[in-house]
Chain A
């Protein structure tokens, strides 16, 4: 990192730029909703008007040494509805999370290439066709309004740059205000502007997609034409990464850090080429040097990916940011095709905010619409245990519960309403031509359901199969009584179930096959169902925050887990499994039919930081990752942790402000997390030397 960037990094970490920030109320734009309500403004126009006011009231701020500019100076985005209006909408509609468009992968590439001017002409031309209908016309006008107001802000930034004598920055801004990017720097600046814009348009979990692919032509162009040296390009790249950490305190998420700024590197194309280029490598290096939580790095790999890539990734893992996360093209692509995505689209997959597989440009999937607790399905089947003559009979009860739960979940997603986003619409395929806001749907409109508590469910069934049916050493009555009493009446049974009973993650085939059955049942339960937008449902292995929520009402489980204990995050072994080691874990967790659970959700392995002391150990970590991928694992995240440090950070947060941990599908600053998430990170099993 050069001195300029180091100073900028320190400046941002000290949050000095927050001095320029005011609230929407202070900016005088908080009351727009009242006016909209009075005047009956259509929702699309409301979104455009709020965006326009957000742009108008930004103060162009150029931080010391910045070459890539745009800093958010209004903290919160005014809501387009009054409270009363929103209550009314909520009463008759299903609202996903905050209600705005989120967690999709926008098409930055087209706008960076063509420029805002050309995009504006495209919208105007569509309007001129005169056949968009009343709604369509409002939509197109809303998009125009967004582009205009964004261009105005770019112009004001340009003037500010000139005023402080930053002629080069002014030149870049002058170009990207109307034209497509002509250089790597312009491409990064325009990307920064668009990304800034969608955040300011109240969209969230704004992913960055296949950054190394869509930015590469600009990088190549500048290197080949002697415009930039690789070192200069690297500095610009680092600066862009820094910009992702600039305004993130104002980005909404479940927890601070859960902001979805993921990038995806590599991947294999249909000709069999592995698309990992110089820029991809630079991204890993930049992240290594900067040691910040954003952007969160993902690498698309497969069984033929060269070992060096896994080594490069492992080097980054070692420093403890909780990424890169890996996904396996060999599994994900056919899995997506199986769910109805075209081969071409499937090949272009990225990850959403955490790990859900989505398609840039064309998918308005809601990948985290709900979670199904597999562990709860096992519990709900328990009253029937005493009447089952064998394990299979009991499993069919569990299968029924999964189906029942799927019925309930799918019935919930009716009359979905999403707040329009003309700004985001500009970045999605076909919206202008259709003259329809992206919130109303796109080529793919699928819903994803997390499958939580897989290990808890599997281990519970394994214990039942072994002790109730095979060895007949535990009666159903005794088990149910113990669960009811949270094992307080039967500590002996608790010990047996926790410590002696076999668990998923120990590479025991019959146990792991229960995990396979559960995921198959989950996928089958969603098969053939369509949501109201014509999309399908996708089963997944992620948990998001459900690992806390679903554990709360679960009560004690037959794997020996007590009521107050958590369930594992994502696709991971039980928190109290007797470890055989990481090889057994990756074997167990690569056995299920992972193409069927293509909503995603990674196996998580935690390692003690001291394990990776030298180059050879980093190479071996790379081998471990590659082995999981070769065995058919779908997704993997690795964390290096230091338990002592985590405990100390809980006690003395002031000394650990920069300590970064992986939470569920994202990395954040440990001291900024709620205590339940901190404790979960501490309780996860780590592998020592």
Chain B
């Protein structure tokens, strides 16, 4: 039997899809985005965390059955409000087997969404996105070199998965974290908009401006926050490249 590792379950997650939702955070991510505000979500194994001087273990192994039972406790509330569950991380696709079992056991009873970097083998990406009702996919940067520089990995797989997603017609939301001086330039946003133009499943683009407090959790996992850009400069909130292509855009 597969078990998954999660590091948080959050109720009433306001920015993670429609209606009243619970968000499940799956632990572990292949990317190392320098601005990541959830450093405790990067490693795949449970780890020690120190919050306000108190030690705790971050990360809990859980069976699909147990997680599904927890989530379905609020089935009625999700249904009442057009809500459901969002799986995020870390990178939820990195625990694809577990995630698929959870989705299987939820059996379509509630609305499901994933929030993903898109970094996963093509087959895995296709299988999981096929099973959920909504995909929220990050498009951090279009330029492959810069992507590798700021996240540690190339975006070739991500862009090819994006193509698959667009081709499938599955409802999705494209998310762009706006990092000052990293990807908030006109050129990157233009290129992103070009990729998204005409995508029939695209509900909207969500821009997530970088917030200074992103580094707050690093000391809790005994790490140093080294973003590599000036965190004091507010990012450019540029919606024009999308709006001129009639793509609905929202700043969160």
Contact = CB atoms under 8 A, between A and B. Distances in A.
A583 B252 contact: no
A614 B252 contact: yes
A581 B73 CA distance: 14
A611 B73 CA distance: 25
Interface centre among A617, A620, A630 (most CB of B within 10 A): A620
Nearest to A688: B10
Interface in B58-117: 73-74, 77, 80-81, 83
A583 B12 contact: yes
B22 A614 contact: no
A689 interface: yes
Contacts of A391: none
A689 B21 CA distance: 12
A286 B74 CA distance: 37
B15 A581 contact: no
A623 B252 contact: no
Given A617-B15, A624-B12, A583 B81 contact: no
Interface residues of A, number: 22
A617 B252 CA distance: 10
B74 A583 contact: yes
A627 B80 contact: yes
Contact of A689 (B15, B73, B250, B251): B15
B176 interface: no
B208 to A, nearest CB: 11
B20 A624 contact: yes
A614 B250 contact: yes
A74 to B, nearest CB: 50
Interface string A256-293: 00000000000000000000000000000000000000
A628 to B, nearest CB: 10
Interface in A583-615: 583-584, 587, 611-614
A627 B11 contact: no
A624 B77 CA distance: 9
Contacts of B12: 581-583, 620, 624, 687
Contact of B11 (A584, A623, A626): A584
Contacts of B9: 580
Interface string A553-595: 0000000000000000000000000001111100100000000
A161 B11 CA distance: 58
B14 interface: yes
Interface string B19-34: 1101000000000000
Interface in A492-514: 507
A582 B14 CA distance: 12
A581 B11 contact: yes
Given A580-B11, A582-B11, A583-B22, A613 B80 contact: no
B20 A623 contact: yes
A617 B19 CA distance: 10
Interface residues of B, number: 19
A436 B77 CA distance: 52
Contacts of B20: 583, 620, 623-624, 627
B40 to A, nearest CB: 16
A626 B20 CA distance: 11
A582 B83 CA distance: 15
Interface centre among B14, B19, B250, B252 (most CB of A within 10 A): B14
A612 B22 CA distance: 17
A617 B11 contact: no
Contacts of B10: 581
Contacts of A623: 19-20, 80-81, 83
A611 B13 CA distance: 10
Interface centre among B73, B77, B80, B250 (most CB of A within 10 A): B77
A583 B23 CA distance: 12
B81 to A, nearest CB: 4
Nearest to B14: A617
A611 B14 CA distance: 8
Contacts of B13: 689
A152 B84 CA distance: 64
Given A583-B12, A620-B20, A627 B81 contact: yes
Contacts of A620: 12, 14, 19-20
Nearest to B251: A614
Contacts of B15: 617, 689
Contact of B77 (A583, A611, A613): A583
Given A581-B12, A583-B20, A614-B252, A627 B77 contact: yes
B175 to A, nearest CB: 14
B11 A689 contact: no
A620 B15 CA distance: 10
Nearest to B211: A610
A352 to B, nearest CB: 31
Interface in A386-435: none
Contacts of A627: 20, 77, 80-81
A599 to B, nearest CB: 28
Interface string B236-252: 00000000000000111
A613 B237 CA distance: 15
Nearest to A586: B77
Contacts of B83: 623
Contacts of A584: 11
B117 to A, nearest CB: 20
Contact of B73 (A507, A582, A687): A507
17 contacts: A507-B73, A580-B9, A580-B11, A581-B10, A581-B11, A581-B22, A582-B11, A583-B22, A587-B74, A612-B14, A617-B14, A620-B14, A623-B20, A623-B81, A624-B12, A631-B77, A687-B12
Given A626-B81, A627-B80, 6 more contacts: A581-B22, A583-B22, A583-B77, A623-B20, A623-B80, A689-B15
Interface of B: 9-15, 19-20, 22, 73-74, 77, 80-81, 83, 250-252
Which 10 pairs show the lowest CB-CB distances between chains A and B? A581-B11, A583-B11, A623-B81, A582-B12, A617-B14, A620-B14, A623-B20, A581-B12, A583-B12, A627-B77
